[in-house]
Structure formats: C-alpha cells, structure tokens
Chains A and B, each alone.
Chain A
Amino acid sequence: MKSSIHILCFVLFLIVIGLNFSFSQSKYHSYDELTKEITSLVSSNKNIASVSSLSKTPDKHDLWCVTVGGKDADKRHAMLIVGGVEGDRLIGSELTLGFLNFLLKNYGKIDSITQLVNTTTFYILPRVNPDASEQFFRKPLYNRTVNGNPTDDDRDGLIDEDSFEDLNSDGIISMMRVKDSRGEWMPHPDDPRIMKKADASKGEVGIYKLYTEGIDNDGDEIWNEDDLGGVDFNRNFPHNYQFFSKGAGPYQISEPETRAVAEFCFAHPNIAIVFAFSSNDNLLNTWKKEQRQGPPQQQDQRSGRRRMSDDEDFAPRILTSVMDDDEQYYNFIGKQYQELTKFKGVPASSKGEGAFNEWAYYHFGRWSFAANPWWIPEIEIKKDSALSDTTKKQPDRKNRSMEKPENKFGKPGEEKSDEYADQIKALKWIDANGIKDGFLNWTKIKHKDFPDNEVEVGGFKPFILTNPPADSIDVIAAKENSFLAWLAGRLPKVDIANVKVEPVNGKVFRLTAEIANTGYFPTNSAMGNKARWGRNVKVTLGINKNQKISSGKPFTIIEPVKGSGGIQELVWTIISGPGETVIISAESPAVGIASKTVTLK
C-alpha cells in the first residue's frame, strides 16, 4: 500500500511535468514526417540519442530504431519500446514517438528523467509496420495491417488479384451492402445504420449481403479476398502462430520487419523489459495463470517391444499462460497502470496469434507489457476525450475491477452478449462529438457484379474505431509517458552486501557474501530463466596467482534473485596470505554490474 502511494505521487508529478512540457503532437505522422521528426530529434540530442535502420520493408521504408542512452547504451540494462505492431493502430506508433520526445526534451531538465536516462537505455522502435500504417495517409483509405510483401491470401495460385475498389469515389474503402433476400444481414433494430446478422432464434430474417467495397476482380464470387500485400507483423511471431491463415505469412518470422526485430532482440541481451502498444493488452487484461494440466501420464512399460526411447508419450509442453512466479509482477504492474490511467469500459484483449508481445515473454523470456491506449469511450462522456474527463473522477477501484471483462488469457476475444454494442456505442460517440464522416451513410451505387440488386456503400470510416482524434493524443501520451518512465525505474539492480570474512586460521579464510537485488523486478523472470535467452547473474571471485579457492566456484551462475531486497548467499573458502584481497563481482546484461574488493584478514 505504502509503495502504491509512493508510485502514485511520482506518477502525478510526472503527469504534471508531462502536461507542462507537452510537445504538441496533435497529428498523425506519415512515414516521411516520422522520419523527419526522428532525424531532427536525434540530431538535436546527439549526446544521448542515435538512430539506425534495422531493415528495409518490402515497400522500401526504413525500420527506425532510436537508442536513447548515450555512448555505453548497449552496456546498460534496457527497455525496448515498440510502436505500430498493429499497422492500423497508428496511435501506438504516435505514443512511442511521444515517449521518445518526452525523454529527449526532459533530459537535463528534470532530474528524475536525466537520472533514468543515465542509468537505463531505451531502444525505441516507433513504427515497425510502416507499409501498413502508410495506408492511413493514402487513397483509398482502408484499414491495413499487412506489409508490402505480395502474398496469395486466398491460396488460389494468384497473387494480390482481388483488391478493394473505391466504387463511390469518396477516397475511402468502406462496406457494401447488397439487397438480397438470400442475405444473412439486416439493419440493427437499435440503429439501422449498423448491420447485424439475422438471428433465426429471434425470428429475424436477413435481407442484405454484406461485403467490403469493391468488385470481384477474379470472378471467384468472393469479394476483395486477396488485397495488396502482405504479412501482418503481429501475426508473424512464433508464439501461437497460425499456419496457412491470412496475414500470418508463409512461416514464422518470414518478413524483413519481424526478422529484424527478433534479431535486434537477441543481439541485445541487456533488454530487461519489452513494451508494446497493442490491443493484445496485458496491463488492463492482466495475464492470469491457467490451471495446469496434471503431470504427464506415466508410461506403461510395454515389454517385448524394442523401444529406442521411453518418451513415446512426450508431447511438447509449450507454455501458454504466465508462469506462477511471474504472475504477481504482472498483477502489480497492471494494477499501477489501471490506477494511473483510470480507463473505463476496458475491452477484452485481442487474440494473440503470433503476437509480438507474447513472443517477447514466452520465447524471448523478458518482462513483456502491452498497453491498449485507446478505444471508443463511453457515451456519457461529452467531450472528445475520455481521459480529460475521467481524471476528475474519484477512482472507484471496486467498480473498475467489476467492469473488467473476465478475459482469461488464452481464450481472449470471447463473444460478448451483444457483439454490436460496441458499434452502437461508437455511433453514439461519433454523433455526440460531431465527428465528420465518422460514419459514412449508406449511399446507392451501381455495381456491375449485382446489376439487378440495390447496392449501397457505407459504414465506419477506416481507422476511426481504433485511433483517437489527433487532438487527444497529447492527453493520452502524458499518462503513458509517466507510466513508461515509472516502469523503467522498476528494473532489477544488483548489489553485493553483508560481506563477511572468517579466518579459519591465518591462511584459510571463509568468505560469505550476499548477492542482493535492490530493484523491483527479479534479476530474471521465471520464464527468462526457463527460456534461457535471458542471462542470469554471474558471480565471479577474482583471485591472484598466490591464492587458491578450495571450496566454492570461481564462477557461479545464480538462480534469479527476487526484487526489493531479495538475496542469495555465496560461500567460498580461500587459501591466501593474510591481508591480501579478492574481488567479488556480480553481473548480468539485463541487470547491471556490482563489484567489491574484500581484504582477507
């Protein structure tokens, strides 16, 4: 409780700062604008920031990576922050850019930020799927999540042969409804602009067929099933990867973007935390461990048959829910985030199938957090931003947790009681805020594929449901920035404490030392310890030529040390001349280094 208050104070302080130093970012940046912004930010902060391109995308965009942390950045423990893993959610990309801005502009001005940047490295990847995001700035406008790599989405041997068409020439790809008594769709009784599937159990009858806007270019009687591109960054990672599904790519990490990011991760063992803006969120929908299945069944020892292995029944035990020892940390961090943001009406986390942030935990073995920064706010909020309003309200924790959907990780995206409620909510929000063209009213067109039917084009404007109005980015950013800065301060720190020398006699000494962790997170997550890619702390006892270790090891790799003062004790006996020294050092890239010179006497 005490620490909670402490955190809230710190965060409130940062929010005030964040707002005072707000760098008006009330726009979405195209790739060129993003590039310009990054270049100018880095060039005016050369002492602490550098930029590199991790790869070229199929559409020849650079995958920018900004390192904040100065000369020895790769030697300090680090946090990796990734924006735009979902190409159609540009808000995440803007918030990542916003955090970069926040760090650079406040460095040297606010002590806590200066201190943070001096001790912790930030690797910031503002937009990892620029090919998809660029569609936000192009015509026709449509929600795109895939890169520019041409793929045969419908697996018919033809590539990108049936894309969308802007039939009413409004520069936007929306939906298309065709009046047809064989159709399954009907206008929603609560708001006829919304199309819903007719429910036979309620006696409803469909009168429309519903498609995305376009023609059937390849004449296969499926509309727009093989559009331009591509592979979805957030479906291409190995965790829960779905082979042969649209957007997943030919195989795991097949794309230049995903490969570059994965390779970057493995090349930087100092990364302790991975953070991404994503609807596959685990800060509001905190990861819960699943009931484990019982131990694998005992083998029946069949005799009379030669077996080369007793492992016949061995099935892969790939973890799909958070490990027991790690759950509490996800709970705590999630709770802080929830208290800080006071988000209401939290949507369920999207289904993770090849998602980056899940990979970062389950495979890369790092603390991995993902935040869904925005969704259509509740309608009672009058102004265009949910956040400015909710900050005034008293937090009502009980209520909040009541509202939170019980969305157990592993079975996300369960059907809600009314799947159209969100759309109705969105319409109300659009109407209440007078958002122009937020919903494109159904308008008649002529369609060559349906010469005898009434065809109308309309629906939600692309991107509107997942990206807030540009003028509310700042307010969202202030909170996310505070959270990220606070989170980065939770990294583990190693210390050598309670060093004790006991002379057994004048020539033999027993040396005891505690390897302590004064940070919040353990020196490795249970998952990292299991997955192997995150290194554990290595303790080295440095001796001179005349000394000899007679018990204990010169190098010891120790199990993860819990945070907030967790310790592990090590004991050596050393044969040494009295008054001579040894050096104890403890180190891991994601934790840092500590060392102590000890005189044996």
Chain B
Amino acid sequence: MIRMIEKIGIILCLLFGMINYSTAKVEKELTKSSLKALGAPNNPKVEVIWNRYYDSKEIGEICKRISEAYPKLAKFNSIGKSYEGRDIWLLTISNSEKGDPDKKPAMYIDGNIHGNEIQGGEVSLYTGWYLAEMYGHLDWITQLVDEKTFYIIPTINPDGRDHFMHDANSPNSPRSGFDPRDDDGDGLIDEDGDDDLNGDGNITQMRIKDPNGRWVIDPEDPRIMLPAKPDQKGEYELLWSEGIDNDGDGLVNEDDPGSYDPNRNWHWKWAPQYVQWGADRYPGSLPETRAVVDFVFKHNNIAAFQTYHNSGGMILRGPGNKDDQQTYRREDLQVYDFLGKLGEEILPGYRYLIVFKDLYPVFGGELDFFYGVRGGITFSNELWTSFDYFRKKQDEERNWFGSQKETYRFDKLLLFGEGVVDWKPYNHPQYGMIEIGGIKKAWTRTAPSFMLEEMCHRNMAFTLYNAYHTPQVSVDSIFTKELPGGLTEVTAIIKNSRVIPTHTSQDIQNKITRPDYVSISGGKVLMGGIVEDRLTGLVKDQKRNPEKIEVEAIPGMEAVFVKWIVDGKKPFVVNVDSEKGGKDSKQLK
C-alpha cells in the first residue's frame, strides 16, 4: 500500500514537475530558541541545515524555497543545461523594490566548477539564504541587499556534482564534467574508469602483499602506507586507484567519464590541450562554460566575481599565466591587495596568492576570463584548509590537503575513524588477492559537518565585503555660479564611495563597458565637460552631447567634477548612470 502511494506520488511528480514536489513538502516549524546565537538567523523562514551537502536538485529546491519565501528579495531561474541536461540554477538576491536588480552594481558568485569540489555550492547557497533571512534585521545587510545584486550559481558543474555525490568516487574524482571524451585515443569513449570493487561507495586504494614491494605499513597508524626507507625491506606494492582493466588494453582506469578540466576551458589566454591538459576542444566548448559566458555577457552590471574551489585555504587572484602579468595593472592590483588582505583576516589559515606564481600555471581559467574579458575584480577561494585540523602553524610536510599524518590523526581523534576505509582483502579479477582501503571520498577535501557552517559563514563574509566595495556612484553635491547674460555655471561632484572603480584598468583599456554618463537637465546646455584641474577649474570640453558627459571611470573612493555652462536658472537635476556603479540623481533647487 505504501509502495502504491509512493508510486502515485512519483507519477504526480513527473506530471507536475518539481514545483509540486517541493510545495507538497511539509514545512517544519522551527522552535525559536531562547537566546539567538549571533550569526545565523534565529527563526528562519527557510529552514536549511548547514552541516551537510546537497546535490543539484536539492540546491534547486532550496533556491526555490528562498525565492518563494522572499519574493521581493530573491529570484530563481536556470541559466542553461549541463551536458546531461541538469539545470544550472541561478539565485538572484536584491531588493527589487529598490530598483531593477540588473541595473545595480552586482557581485557574481559561483561554485563547484570541478565536479568533486562541492562545498562551493553550500557556501554560495548559504550566502543567498543568509542575505534573504537577515534582510531587515541587520542594517548593513539591508543596505547591501537594497544597493547591490548578488548573482549566485551554487554549482556550474551539476553533472560532476551529482556524480560525485551519488556514485562511488575518491576525493579527487570527478574533476571533469560528463561530456564524453576519448582520453586515451583508442577510439573508445569513457570505457575504463574507476570501479568500486568492494561496493562501499568510495574509490580507495589497492595494495598487494609483495616481499619485493617498496612500501611498508606505518608503525604508528597501520592504515597509512609509507615508502620503505632505502635500506628497509618492503612488504607491499601499491596498485593505486580501485579498479579493473575494463577494456582489456593492459591499463587500469585510463579513460574515465568526461575528462577535461572545466577550469581550463575559458577564453582569456586559453591554450590548447597540448600546452595544458584539460583545455578541451576550444574555449567555451562545454555547455556549462557557454551558459555562464552568455549570462555574464548579458550582465554588464557585474563588477566583482567570486568562484569557489577546494581545497588548500587560498584566496587566489590572476593571472594564471606568467605572460599575462601586464594585464593586471597597478591601479587594479591595489584593489586586489586591499580585498585579498581583508580576506586573510576574515579567513584564518587562508593565504592571498597569485595563481601562476604561488600555485601553478593555468591557461584559460575562469578567474582570468572574468577579469580579462569582463574587467571584473575576481577572486577564487580554495575552500578548506589543513590549518583547521589542529589550528597549528604550517607543517613542513603539509601539502594543500595537509600532511598524511595530520589527516589520519584528525580522522582518529575527531572523526573516530569515519573518514577512512580500513584495508580489507579482495580477490581482484586481474591482480588476484589484493587489499582495498584508504581515504573516503568525503574526507580531505570537503569539511566535516561541524566545520562546514563556519566555512560557509567566513567565506560569505569575504564576498560580502567584495560586494560592498563594488562601485557605488552618487551625486555628492551640486553648486552654481551666476555668469553674465543669464548664464549659469553648474558644477557637480560625482563620487564613488567604494574601493572598486566603476571601470577597472582592464575595462578602460579595452572599452569593455560603456562610459559612465553624467547628465544635467534644466536649461539649455551650452557647453560641458570634466574638470581636469580643480584649482584652475579648466574643463575638457565635450563637443558632442554636452548635456550628457561621458566619464571614462570613477576611481574607488574618489570623485569626478563635471561642469556645464547652462542658459537657464535653477532648479537643475544631475543624474549619474554607471553600468557597474549604479545610478543616482540629485536636484538643486
């Protein structure tokens, strides 16, 4: 009977789609606690548990619930489909009663470009949820949501995400999306990936007992394999990733699903496959890349971008390419440095780094695209740092994922062994008797439950400051001087009260977005221009349309003086209209 009801339910779901599916869900009432802990909302309209991970469908549902609970603040739609047909969900947060969200200075946030690097999804989603829930409760947040727009795409690789979650994987697979590729050039496609031989949902390691092998068991933690010392007799040989030779070519796991690097598929300084693995066929060859590119090209109001990866605790900026250093000019680097250092303070254990110099070369990465092609200030955070294991200073042996010793120690002391599969014998069809064991897919790159919420909040805080510092233009003041013959000289001070300029140097250099317009109405404008020298009041005359002065950029925390000679008297209205910096208007009576 229950099965019957379930079946009907499924059919109904199929009929009415997801909309009905989630509204049918019973919303649980949260009991309001006696004392609100600072940080998260006490009694949220949309209840979400932030100590677990969500697949792409669940992300869509949460986005939908937020948009239904806060119709004025949140909008939810799909910007396109992945290769396997999953929606790429966009959550837009902005107070639509305080202006068109697409005309406000905007912050773009995405996560999870690499299939296995999932927690960017939760951090992005938390950001949208927090902003909507805290609107009206905290002045700073309210102002932010009134003034700015957040375009949040929790996962831009939903195929990779869902396969990571639902299929057997290691912490490192799948990096790719799922558009099939022939990795080994044998004319067969995706024919030999990993195999979950012991059926535990994880792709771990294989080892074989071998008196001539070069590996030994760590005497301190028998789960760890160590290379034998030069004069030490070995006990084991490692056979690496769990799997079999599916296609009988004598190689194990050489052609896994998809297999390209979605973060090498972007157009700025892209380099082909032979320069760098993963570039794929051409820049923008992947449907997911294409969807994001189309979206950002339709949104010139985006002034800052944030992408989330894992792991290593980094706040990365470009360039990814040594030869691209001239693109990142001094004026913009000041902005990067200011925000990057703020990030280091907000995110203990995270370091502000430059991709090509401190990490490795990346050609055609997403962050370089956002800066190089769209002219937006862009950071990419590598979420989760081994610093968090024991909050100790850098360990010499530690790599991006922490040292092996620390990883296992943390697992033992705080996860009580939940992160590791103990070695167990297995009869392999090709190798014979082997043992399988090692790190589970949810350990080393993704945070454990009790640390996830903190990760979400701290990283969100960093992006909120980025968003806050997207340009915000205003007409600061207007003053006039009577001239002979009934003429009036009108001067307006137009300021940008935030750190990011209305046009970065890359934007100015390549005219990526249109100039800012400063216009006046009231009276006939005889001449107008930007004041080049405040002392002498000399103006750079704009011959064409002097009533609408074109300003190349308003630098961060600075002001531009604009002057007109007008045949007429007060009142005058001055407007400023900046694609990335918003709009403002002031009347002088």
Contact = CB atoms under 8 A, between A and B. Distances in A.
Interface of A: 155-157, 218-221, 238, 243-244, 250-254, 262, 266, 306-309, 311-318, 362-363, 530-533, 535-536, 538, 553-555, 557, 587-589
Contacts of B250: 553-555
A543 to B, nearest CB: 11
Nearest to B357: A312
Contacts of A218: 544
Contact of A155 (B186, B274, B321, B511): B511
A343 B538 CA distance: 62
B276 interface: yes
B389 interface: no
Contacts of B282: 238, 252-253, 262, 363
A226 to B, nearest CB: 12
A508 B249 CA distance: 21
A314 B361 contact: yes
A555 B249 contact: yes
Given A238-B282, A538-B187, A308 B273 contact: no
Contacts of A557: 184-186
Nearest to A254: B284
Contacts of B19: none
Contacts, number: 117
B386 to A, nearest CB: 13
A251 B284 contact: yes
Contacts of B186: 538, 555, 557
Residue of B184, B283, B543 most packed against chain A (CB within 10 A): B283
B187 A531 contact: no
Contacts of B184: 557
B356 A156 contact: no
**Interface of A (DSSP majority class):** loop
B322 interface: yes
Interface in B272-324: 272-276, 281-285, 293, 297, 321-323
B360 A308 contact: yes
B321 A238 contact: no
B408 interface: no
Contacts of A315: 321-323, 361
Closest 8 CB pairs of A and B: A157-B514, A155-B511, A309-B360, A316-B271, A251-B267, A244-B510, A555-B249, A314-B361
B274 A532 contact: yes
Contacts of B515: 156-157
A244 B508 CA distance: 12
Given A156-B514, A244-B511, A309 B359 contact: yes
Contacts of B13: none
A378 B191 CA distance: 59
B557 interface: no
Contacts of B357: 312
Nearest to A556: B249
Residue of A218, A314, A557, A588 most packed against chain B (CB within 10 A): A314
A530 B279 CA distance: 14
Contact of B249 (A317, A554, A589): A554
B429 to A, nearest CB: 15
Contacts of A588: 187
A251 B267 CA distance: 7
B486 interface: no
Contacts of A157: 513-515
A156 B511 contact: yes
Contacts of B182: 535
Nearest to A250: B297
A307 B268 CA distance: 25
Residue of B321, B322, B545 most packed against chain A (CB within 10 A): B322
Interface in B163-197: 182, 184-187
Given A221-B544, A253-B282, 15 more contacts: A155-B512, A219-B545, A238-B272, A244-B511, A252-B270, A307-B358, A308-B400, A311-B360, A312-B357, A316-B276, A363-B282, A538-B185, A553-B250, A555-B249, A557-B184
Nearest to A158: B514
B275 A317 contact: yes
B233 to A, nearest CB: 30
B274 A535 contact: no
Contacts of A309: 359-361
B373 A243 contact: yes
B363 interface: yes
A533 B187 CA distance: 11
Nearest to A307: B358
Contacts of B400: 308
A5 to B, nearest CB: 38
A252 B284 contact: yes
B185 A535 contact: yes
B230 interface: no
B360 A316 contact: no
Given A308-B400, A554-B250, A533 B281 contact: yes
Residue of A262, A363, A553, A555 most packed against chain B (CB within 10 A): A555
Contacts of B321: 315-316
Nearest to A316: B271
Nearest to B372: A243
Contact of A311 (B323, B361, B513, B543): B361
Contacts of B103: none
Contacts of B543: 221
Contacts of B270: 238, 252
